[in-house]
Structure 1
Amino acid sequence: MRNKIAVIVAILATFLSGCHLIAAPSTPTVSQVSTSSPTQTIRSTRTSPPPTLTPSPSPTESPPQFKVILHPDGGVYVGDLVSFEIIPLEEINLDQSTLSVSVEGQNIDLDDLGNFGHYGIAGRYQATLPWVWDTRTTQAGEVPLTFNINPEGIAWEETVTLLPASEVSPPQPKARWAHEESDCCLFYTITDTASERDIESITQIVDLQAMSVTSQMNTQFSKPVVINLIPRTLGHGGFASDEIFVSYSDRNYAGQNLSTVVHHEMVHILDAQIGGDLRPTIFVEGLAVYLTGGHFKSEPLIPRAAALLDPSEQENGLGWYLPLIPLADDFYNSQHEIGYLEAGSIVEYMVETWGWEAFSAFYRDIHPDESGKQSAAIDKALQIHFGITFQQLEKDFITKLLAEDVDPKNTDDLQLSVAFYKTVRRYEQALDPSAYFLTAWLPDVKQMRERGIIADFLRHPSTAENIALETLLVSADTSLKSGDYTKAKRAIDAVGAVLNSMDEKLSTPFLVNSLANAHYQITQILLKEGYIAQTIEVEGMKATAHATTGWADLTEFSFAKQNGVWQGISH
Structure 2
Amino acid sequence: MSISDENVGGSEPTRWRYVFLALLVFISAAALLGGLWSVPRLVPELAAQPSASPLPPTAVPSPTPVPFGISQVWAIADEDAKTLSFRMQASAPPEQPLVEAILWYDTEAGRTPLSLSMSARQTVQLAYTATLATEGFTTTLTNGELDYWWLVRDTAGQTRRRGAILQLSASLADQAVLPTPEPVAADFAWSQQTSPHFVYHYPPDSAAERDLDQIAEMAERALATITPTLRTDVQAPLSVYLVPRLFWQGGAAYGGDTLLVSYLDRNYTGVETWTYFAHESVHVLAHDWLQPKEQGGPDGVLVEGLAVWATGGHYYLDPIDQWAAAIADSDQFIPLHDLRTGDFYYDYQHEIAYHESASFVKYLIQRNGLDSFRALYGQANHDPAHDEELVRRLYGTGYAELEAEWLSYLSSLPPDPSARAAWWLTVRLFDLMRLYQTELDPPARTLPAHIPPNWDQDLLQAFLHRAQEPVNRLLETALISAHRAIRAGDHERATQLMDEIETSLQADGQVIGSELVRRQGILDLLEEQDRAVLRADARAFQATLDPSLRLEAGTQFVTELQEVAYIHYDQEPVTLSLDLEQAQVLVQLHATALNGPPPDNGRLFVLTFIRHGETWLMTSRQPVQPTVPNPPPED
Secondary structure of residue in 1 paired with 2:505? helix
> Does 1 or 2 have the higher relative contact order (CA < 8 Å, sep 6+)?
1
The separation in 2 between residues aligned to 1:542 and 1:174, in whole angstroms, is: 46
State the partner residue of 1:360. 374
The residue correspondences of 1:197-346 to structure 2 (distance < 5 A) are 197-242=210-255, 243-276=258-291, 277=295, 278-310=297-329, 318-329=330-341, 330-346=344-360
User: Is 2:208 the counterpart of 1:195?
Assistant: yes
State the partner residue of 1:499. 505
The separation in 2 between residues aligned to 1:502 and 1:404, in whole angstroms, is: 43
* 2:433 counterpart letter in structure 1: V
* 2:282 counterpart letter in structure 1: V
- Once the two structures are superposed, residues 322-373 of structure 1 have per-residue CA deviations (whole angstroms, 9 ceiling, x without a partner) of 111112232111111011000000000011111111121222222343xxxx
State the partner residue of 2:610. 560
Among candidates 429, 442, 448, match of residue 438 of structure 2:
429
Quick one: structure 1 residues 442 and 469, their matched pair in 2 at CA, closer, same or farther if it must change by over 3 Å?
farther
How does the TM-score come out when normalised to structure 2? 0.58
State the partner residue of 2:513. 513
The separation in 1 between residues aligned to 2:179 and 2:411, in whole angstroms, is: 63
* 1:404 counterpart letter in structure 2: L
Quick one: structure 1 residues 541 and 454, their matched pair in 2 at CA, closer, same or farther if it must change by over 3 Å?
same
C-alpha deviation, 1:168, in angstroms: 4.3
Instruction: Check the 8 A contact 2:298/2:378 in 1, yes or no.
Output: yes
State the partner residue of 1:522. 522
Secondary structure of residue in 1 paired with 2:227? helix
State the partner residue of 1:409. 418
* 1:354 counterpart letter in structure 2: N
Instruction: Check the 8 A contact 2:290/2:379 in 1, yes or no.
Output: no
Among candidates 580, 588, 605, match of residue 548 of structure 1:
588
* 1:446 counterpart letter in structure 2: P
- Once the two structures are superposed, residues 283-324 of structure 1 have per-residue CA deviations (whole angstroms, 9 ceiling, x without a partner) of 0000101111111111222222111233xxxxxxx4432111
State the partner residue of 1:394. 403
Secondary structure of residue in 2 paired with 1:332? helix
The separation in 2 between residues aligned to 1:442 and 1:363, in whole angstroms, is: 23
Quick one: structure 1 residues 469 and 457, their matched pair in 2 at CA, closer, same or farther if it must change by over 3 Å?
same
The separation in 2 between residues aligned to 1:525 and 1:198, in whole angstroms, is: 28
Instruction: Check the 8 A contact 2:299/2:382 in 1, yes or no.
Output: no
The separation in 1 between residues aligned to 2:582 and 2:186, in whole angstroms, is: 36
The separation in 1 between residues aligned to 2:505 and 2:205, in whole angstroms, is: 32
Instruction: Check the 8 A contact 2:271/2:316 in 1, yes or no.
Output: no
Quick one: structure 1 residues 465 and 235, their matched pair in 2 at CA, closer, same or farther if it must change by over 3 Å?
same
Calculate the aligned-residue CA RMSD, in Å.
Answer: 3.1
Quick one: structure 1 residues 162 and 182, their matched pair in 2 at CA, closer, same or farther if it must change by over 3 Å?
farther
The separation in 1 between residues aligned to 2:425 and 2:185, in whole angstroms, is: 36
Among candidates 443, 453, 470, match of residue 446 of structure 1:
453
C-alpha deviation, 1:172, in angstroms: 9.2
Instruction: Check the 8 A contact 1:175/1:192 in 2, yes or no.
Output: no
The residue correspondences of 1:147-162 to structure 2 (distance < 5 A) are none
The separation in 2 between residues aligned to 1:173 and 1:194, in whole angstroms, is: 22
The separation in 2 between residues aligned to 1:215 and 1:435, in whole angstroms, is: 33
C-alpha deviation, 1:175, in angstroms: 8.7
How does the TM-score come out when normalised to structure 1? 0.64
The separation in 2 between residues aligned to 1:241 and 1:326, in whole angstroms, is: 25
C-alpha deviation, 1:219, in angstroms: 2.3
Instruction: Check the 8 A contact 2:244/2:466 in 1, yes or no.
Output: no
User: Is 2:620 the counterpart of 1:570?
Assistant: yes
* 1:332 counterpart letter in structure 2: Y
The separation in 2 between residues aligned to 1:212 and 1:249, in whole angstroms, is: 23
C-alpha deviation, 1:517, in angstroms: 1.4
C-alpha deviation, 1:246, in angstroms: 1.2
The separation in 2 between residues aligned to 1:559 and 1:261, in whole angstroms, is: 34
Quick one: structure 1 residues 164 and 341, their matched pair in 2 at CA, closer, same or farther if it must change by over 3 Å?
closer
Quick one: structure 1 residues 377 and 518, their matched pair in 2 at CA, closer, same or farther if it must change by over 3 Å?
farther
- Once the two structures are superposed, residues 426-479 of structure 1 have per-residue CA deviations (whole angstroms, 9 ceiling, x without a partner) of 10000001102xx44666411459x99954322122110010000001111222
Identity of aligned residues (%): 27
User: Is 2:462 the counterpart of 1:456?
Assistant: yes
- Equivalent pairs, count: 395
Instruction: Check the 8 A contact 1:229/1:248 in 2, yes or no.
Output: yes
Which one has a larger percent helix, Structure 1 or Structure 2? Answer: 2
* 1:261 counterpart letter in structure 2: Y
* 2:470 counterpart letter in structure 1: A
The separation in 2 between residues aligned to 1:416 and 1:395, in whole angstroms, is: 27
The separation in 2 between residues aligned to 1:379 and 1:398, in whole angstroms, is: 19
Instruction: Check the 8 A contact 2:334/2:353 in 1, yes or no.
Output: yes
C-alpha deviation, 1:214, in angstroms: 2.5
State the partner residue of 1:533. 573
C-alpha deviation, 1:378, in angstroms: 3.2
Give 4+ residue runs of structure 1 displaced > 4 Å after superposition.
Answer: 139-142, 161-165, 171-176, 441-444, 451-454
State the partner residue of 2:488. 482
* 2:270 counterpart letter in structure 1: G
Secondary structure of residue in 1 paired with 2:484? helix
Secondary structure of residue in 2 paired with 1:186? strand
Secondary structure of residue in 1 paired with 2:365? helix
Secondary structure of residue in 2 paired with 1:502? coil
The separation in 1 between residues aligned to 2:179 and 2:480, in whole angstroms, is: 32
Instruction: Check the 8 A contact 1:254/1:474 in 2, yes or no.
Output: yes
The separation in 2 between residues aligned to 1:498 and 1:344, in whole angstroms, is: 34
Quick one: structure 1 residues 400 and 261, their matched pair in 2 at CA, closer, same or farther if it must change by over 3 Å?
same
The separation in 2 between residues aligned to 1:320 and 1:280, in whole angstroms, is: 21
The residue correspondences of 1:175-194 to structure 2 (distance < 5 A) are 177-194=190-207
Instruction: Check the 8 A contact 1:177/1:452 in 2, yes or no.
Output: no
Moved more, 278-287 or 551-560: 551-560
Which blocks of at least 5 consecutive residues in structure 1 are unaligned?
Answer: 1-76, 79-138, 143-160, 311-317, 370-374, 504-508
Secondary structure of residue in 1 paired with 2:327? coil
Instruction: Check the 8 A contact 1:140/1:162 in 2, yes or no.
Output: no
The separation in 2 between residues aligned to 1:358 and 1:267, in whole angstroms, is: 17
The separation in 1 between residues aligned to 2:423 and 2:465, in whole angstroms, is: 33
C-alpha deviation, 1:569, in angstroms: 3.5
Secondary structure of residue in 2 paired with 1:235? coil
Secondary structure of residue in 1 paired with 2:345? coil
Quick one: structure 1 residues 163 and 498, their matched pair in 2 at CA, closer, same or farther if it must change by over 3 Å?
closer
The separation in 1 between residues aligned to 2:247 and 2:365, in whole angstroms, is: 32
Quick one: structure 1 residues 539 and 444, their matched pair in 2 at CA, closer, same or farther if it must change by over 3 Å?
same
* 1:545 counterpart letter in structure 2: V
Quick one: structure 1 residues 548 and 163, their matched pair in 2 at CA, closer, same or farther if it must change by over 3 Å?
same
